[in-house]
Amino acid sequence: MNLQQQIQQLTRAYVRKGGKDNRRQQTARMMAFAEHAEGLGAREIGQVGGRHVVSYWRAIRASGGLADSTLYGHWLAIRELWRLAEKAGDPPRPRQQEGEQAATPQSRG
């Protein structure tokens, strides 16, 4: 069983509950990450780690990048994959590119 098949098996119950459209979108993001990790040589979920996540962020940046909110959505999907696979901790978050300013929440008052 390859990595993508393992992720499909892990997410089968995940997709059935909650907001269906969002769950399908998150699963598609998990599968995109799995495809990237397989390209780096990972063959099963136990071989996937932080190095694969960092490489995924770099590949996204190299392809033109995504909006911060979309990157956050990808991170949430990978974090959910971590939870489903019972991996310890959280996956690495995407770093900001040099020259970008950190998004600061606007105070409302």
The tens digit of pLDDT for each residue in 10-51 reads 999 888 888 889 999 999 999 999 999 999 999 999 999 999
Give yes or no for a contact between 93 and 76, defined as CB atoms under 8 angstroms apart: no
pLDDT at residue 95 in the model? 81
pLDDT at residue 16 in the model? 86
Radius of gyration of the chain (CA): 15
The tens digit of pLDDT for each residue in 37-94 reads 999 999 999 999 999 999 999 999 899 878 888 999 999 999 999 999 999 999 999 8
Amino acid residing at 103: A
CA distances (Å), origin 40, targets 19, 22, 23, 73, 83: 32, 27, 26, 22, 22
pLDDT at residue 26 in the model? 94
Per-domain boundaries in the chain: 3-84
pLDDT at residue 42 in the model? 94
pLDDT at residue 97 in the model? 62
pLDDT at residue 98 in the model? 56
pLDDT at residue 105 in the model? 43
pLDDT at residue 68 in the model? 87
